[in-house]
Amino acid sequence: MLAARTSSLRRTAAPTPRRRSARAVRVSAAAPATLGEVVDPRTGYPRAAKKYETVIILKADTLDDEVQEEMDKLESFINSEGAIECSVMNRGRQRMAYPIKEQWEGIYVMVNFVSMPRVPKALQDMLSAPVVGGDEKNIVRYMTIKYDLPKVNEA
Helices (H), 10-154: 64-80, 118-128
Mean of the per-residue pLDDT values of the chain: 80
Averaged pLDDT, 24-30: 44
| Neighbour tally for 97: CB within 10 Å | 6
Q: What percent of the chain has pLDDT over 70?
A: 70
**49-124+135-147 belongs to CATH 1.10.1740.10:** no
Give the model's pLDDT for residue 93: 96
Averaged pLDDT, 23-42: 56
| 4-8, 35-39, 144-148: least confidently modelled range | 4-8
Give the model's pLDDT for residue 137: 83
Task: For residue 77, give the nearest of 115, 35, 45, 37 by alpha carbon.
Answer: 115
Q: What is the pTM of this model?
A: 0.69
